[in-house]
Amino acid sequence: MIQSEVRNASPRLSRFLNWENLRLDLLEVLDAPVHVCQSPAYRAEIVQRIMSLLASYKKEREVPPDPNLMELCSVVLLNFREWDKLIDIEHKVDFYIQFAKIVANVCKEVSNKGAKSSKELWETILPIFNNPATNQHKRTNSGMSKEMPRDASAAIMNRAQLFQFIKKLKDILVLGIIISCLAKFYNILKDDSVGEIFLEYQGLWPTIISNSNVFNMSAVGEIFQNTLHHALSIHPTHTSWLRTKGDVMYVQGQYGSALKYYISAAMVSSDYFSLPLPKAIFDDLQYKHMIHCCTKLQNHTQASVLHQFLDEPNYTMAFKALGERVCNDSCDTYYPCIWDITLLEFLVNHHTKRGETDCRKHAIELIGQLELNSNNNEEIQREAASLRKGWFLRAMAKQFL
């Protein structure tokens, strides 16, 4: 009754009230935990109200909805995976809608195993991180180089707006695409092949940036890490992000924290180490990072055990680790986790030279285990290795998690 009277008396006021009601409902949707799914009917109603607002946007250009409401509409449509509805919206409605539309295009294509629209997202993200004082060089007709001020308005939004937008996102694919883009951008700017950070959807992005000096690397790193932190706060068991977070800690020299995230990724992806670790996440580079972390923490026995996880163990480094006198881990406590006979034979010889009778005896007993006999078929050897990997990783989890 009151709404009808307001609508008749003042259409503009009625419009504002409808917008505020929608804003409150959108905030309620965003405040709901990610595992709480609104009913399909309620979601459909919310989407319909958003689309009605966007449809009337041009008609009411004199009093457009404020950007905050447009941001909420964009985020909710992304979180609801309404890719098609976003893609069908007129391109220039609002910069938040425009950005969401670009993201939706990539998400839809990735869902369908495509990647054509990723270039547009890449070219949209990059200008946000321009150094404001950077000048561009332009060639004149005479061939002379002339400095041109960089156009700050080229960016679709500023960094603060970007991160405020990201903080409202909850969908795992949307967050994954944005994290991947920022991680790739950061890797290229950092230009450190040894400390390259792992990312999903590697093939979506270019491998080089021709004018990398015009971008603010610290700002890229800050928003990338904050986005990753936000994503893990919502989806704490997403394996790829756990490895990415581990790589971030690794690059920063926080080796204990890096191992925490690496082992978390291993635990989640293997059902608490009862299944083989996925090769897509746990490749040789990952194990080398873990070995380096253990070495830096002076957990040399752990490092030597991890050498077995490599496709081709580096025996020189493994022997060196086993021979270290200063060791912060439990040393021979981890010997039962060794399945590589070469390492066990080294231990027998090593402890014999040192006159460490008990440790030598322990190593000999381990070599004598039937399942470690080199004449066993591959399946038995594989099972023996898998069993010991589980023992070792559970012990690591107990220490670092």
**Average pLDDT of span 3-20:** 65
Among 19-33, 281-295, 338-352, whose mean pLDDT is lowest?
A: 19-33
Angle between helix 95-111 and 172-190 (nearest 10): 100
Q: How is residue 283 annotated by DSSP?
A: -
Residue 64: predicted pLDDT: 65
Half-sphere exposure of 66 (CA within 13 A, CB side): 6
Give the model's confidence band at 112: pLDDT under 50 very low, under 70 low, under 90 confident, else very high.
confident
The contacts of residue 304 (CB under 8 Å, 6+ apart) are: 318, 319, 321, 322, 338, 343
pLDDT digits (tens, 9 = 90+) for 348-395: 999 999 888 898 999 999 998 988 888 889 899 999 999 999 999 999
Residue 37 has pLDDT above 60, yes or no: yes
d(CA 49, CA 31): 18
Residue 91: predicted pLDDT: 59
CB-CB neighbours of 271 under 10 Å: 8
**Average pLDDT of span 131-150:** 49
Give the model's confidence band at 58: pLDDT under 50 very low, under 70 low, under 90 confident, else very high.
low
Burial (CB count within 10 angstroms: exposed 0-12, middle 13-18, buried 19+), residue 212: middle
- Return the amino acid letter for 375: N
pTM of the model: 0.88
Give the model's confidence band at 139: pLDDT under 50 very low, under 70 low, under 90 confident, else very high.
very low
d(CA 245, CA 230): 11
**Average pLDDT of span 390-401:** 93
Tokens matching residue 376 = 């066993």
Q: Is the CB of residue 297 less than 8 Å from the CB of residue 328?
A: yes
